[in-house]
Chains A and B, each alone.
Chain A
Amino acid sequence: MAAELHLRIVTPDRTIVDRKVAGVSFQGVDGSYGILPQHAPLMTAISNTGTATITELDGKSSELFVSDGFAQVQHNVLTLVCEAGEFAHEIDLERVKAAEAKAREKMAGLDRLSAEFLKAEASLRKALAREMLARRGSGSGTLG
């Protein structure tokens, strides 16, 4: 049997990926996962902010941002069900920066223990993860 894994990435807006790949790694809530073909059936939650790295059949790899989701392996099909998923080149850096600034501004005025603060912090994390990925993906610009 060929060493390939069917990957599907499903978000509320669209199905982003639906094809055969050689492997995928992503961050679960309790650590990193690397899924290779013929993985045992599995179900887990993806961490709120993170990246997934797809290794294509030809050995190249591509990264994408995923958030708030779940991963499931069934019959050699890996399904990532997440709320947002974007390839590095799709990320709109301007928008991310705006989101980051907004989150920082919100956090400044809030009590550190309040629920709102935690929410703002979560959105800041998301913005930062996206930003990092976008920078890395485009190959231009420096971190920080």
Chain B
Amino acid sequence: MANLKELRGRIKSVASIAQITRAMEMVASMKLRKVQAKAQSFHPYVDEIRHMIEALAGKVGGEGDVPLFRTRDVQTVGFFVVASDRGLCGSYNSNLLFGLKKVADALQAEGKKVKFWVYGRKAYAWLTRRGFTVERFFVEPPLDKADFTAAKLVGQALVDAFTTGVVDEVRLYYTRFQSMIKFVPTDAPFLPIRTIAVGEAKQPQKSFELDFLIEPDATTVFNRLMPRYLETVVFDAMLQSLTSEHASRRMAMKGATDAAVRMQKGLKKVYNRARQENITKELLDIVGGASAVS
């Protein structure tokens, strides 16, 4: 009898878990749509910036005199890591962080130092637990509300660290959103700048008028353009990670909901069988009692 009551309780709790995970799934898909819309409206900006850099690159003589392009003997490597603030998103964080650990361990084995700039509470907790030094942990604005200002902040921090010699190389470690079901942890070089790459490369659009006026002069414009470019790269990494996070959470929550529903069905069967057994037993008792009396 106690068994029946217990089963009823379990069915109830599984049902309410299914309800919660279903709600989380829906929230995640909504957020996913939002982030994707954000990424969509960010595209024109990226295209323009890249366009201008490509146009200017040929006009600026000798890239060696721009500090952000100068390669140095690498002793300290800085990583900018983007993970999530919250859990329950499948293997999103662990995939990223285990990959990162491998890279960091390899670097340390070579005698290089690693430093971290982190977005996302999960990454921060993970790294500090393993004894890595986190140079800076960005909390404001929270990743969910991250806008271009956040990317600007990060970009400036990274450029500062690079130019003041705190680190000799900066890399981005984030999750690239490949499709709704595929998220790839990515290790991308950031500083010094080697190649200009942001967003997807697309077919060359309309012809470019090569001969154009530049005011005040190419170097000035280029030097102003460079930080903007770096910020777009950071923002792109953040958006990619956010998209992956929400897609990953949606998938995980869908899996959890399905599992809960399956479990609920199984429990219901067990419950019904137990109930039937009880009834049969009671009937037998009554029949047995009646036949004993007569």
A residues at B contact (CB < 8 Å): 8, 10-15, 28-30, 40-45, 68, 70, 72-75, 79, 81, 83
Contacts and interface: CB of A to CB of B under 8 A. Distances in A.
25 contacts: A8-B44, A12-B42, A12-B232, A13-B42, A13-B147, A29-B216, A30-B216, A40-B212, A41-B211, A41-B212, A42-B214, A43-B52, A43-B56, A43-B213, A43-B214, A43-B221, A44-B213, A44-B214, A44-B216, A45-B225, A70-B224, A70-B228, A72-B51, A73-B212, A83-B148
Contact of A42 (B147, B208, B212, B220): B212
Given A40-B212, A41-B213, A75-B209, A11 B45 contact: yes
A135 to B, nearest CB: 25
A12 B56 contact: no
B213 A42 contact: yes
B128 interface: no
Q: Could you say which interface size class chain B belongs to? A: 20 to 34
Nearest to B218: A43
A81 B225 CA distance: 10
Nearest to B160: A115
Interface string B220-239: 11001100100010010000
B214 to A, nearest CB: 5
Describe A's contact surface by its main secondary structure: strand
Interface of B: 38, 41-42, 44-45, 48-49, 51-52, 55-56, 147-148, 152, 206, 208-209, 211-216, 220-221, 224-225, 228, 232, 235
Contact of B220 (A12, A29, A68): A29
Given A29-B220, A45-B224, A70-B224, A10 B48 contact: yes
Ranked 3 nearest A-B pairs via Cβ: A41-B212, A12-B148, A41-B209
Nearest to B41: A14
A14 B41 CA distance: 5
A14 B224 CA distance: 21
Contacts of A73: 212
B216 A72 contact: no
A8 B48 CA distance: 11
